[in-house]
Amino acid sequence: MKKGFILLLAWAFSFQVFAGVLEEKAYAYDRWYQRWHSPGYGGTCEVIFADPELTQVKMLDGIGDSTIWTGTYLASQAFRFAVEHSPEALQNAKKAFRALHYHLIATGKKGLLARYVGPLRLPFWTKGEEGCLKNKRCHIIPCPEGAGFSSQDKCFWLGDVSRDQYTGWWFGIVLAYDLINDKELRSWIKKDVRTIIDQLIKDDFVIIDVDGKPTGAGKVMAAMKFDWLKTVSYTHLRAHETSLHL
C-alpha cells in the first residue's frame, strides 16, 4: 500500500513537471509566432531567414495557405482564452480575426476570401510588380486601410482560393465565437459570416473568383456545406438576417 502511494506521488509530480514544460513550450511558440509569423495584416506565413541566427527575414513562404492556418491559429487562441481568460489570448484572437477580415475585403468581391493579402514589397512578395502581373493568382490593389497601411500603398492578394482555405476560416471563426465571450469580436464575426454565407448560397456553394469563374477547388463538398450552415445557425444569423431560410 505504501509503495503504491509513493508511486502515485511520483507519477503526479512527474506529470506536473511534464505539463509545466509543455506549457512553457506553448508560450515560447506563441511568442515566436507573434514576432515572426504574422507580419503585415497578420496572416499566418512561413519565414525564410537570411542568417543562421534567425534574426533577419529574407522572404515569406507558404502564404498561399495563409487563410487556413490563420483560422487554425485563431482557434488555438480561442481554446487558450477558454482556459486562461487572458487579455493576451483575446488580443491575439482579435488580431487573427482582423487578418481573416482583411483576406475577405481585399478581393473587392463580396463574400470572396483571398488566400493572403500583404504589401507589394519584400519580404512579403519577392517577384516585384511585374512578377505579380504575370502570376494568375496575384492581384495588385491599393492597400486596405489599417495595420499601418493606407490606400496610397500598394498591396497584393492571392486568389484562386480553395474550399480548404474556407474550412480553416470557418474552423477559427466558429471556435472564436463559441469560446470567447467578447461582444465586439462576436459582432465582427456575425457580419463576416453573413457576408460569406450569403454569397455561397447565391452561387450554389461554388466559390466564384473575380473573373466570374469557379476557382480550381471551389466546389464545396456536402459535409462542408452542412457544417458551415450549422455555423450560421449557431452564430444566430436567422432567416430575416440572411437569404438563408432556416
Handedness of CA 111, 97, 186, 180 (dihedral sign): positive
Q: Which of 44, 39, 188 is nearest to 105 (CA)?
A: 188
Closest residue by Cα to residue 103 from 59, 52, 67:
67
Nearest to 73 by CA among 45, 115, 104: 45
What does each of the 246 residues of the chain score in pLDDT, given as a tens digit?
555 545 444 444 444 555 688 899 999 999 999 999 999 999 999 999 999 999 999 999 999 999 999 999 999 999 999 999 999 999 999 999 999 999 999 999 999 999 999 999 999 999 999 999 999 999 999 999 999 999 999 999 999 999 999 999 999 999 999 999 999 999 999 999 999 999 999 999 999 999 999 999 999 999 999 989 888 877 754 333 444 433
Radius of gyration (C-alpha) of the chain in whole angstroms: 21
Would you say 144 and 155 are in contact if contact means Cβ atoms under 8 Å apart?
yes
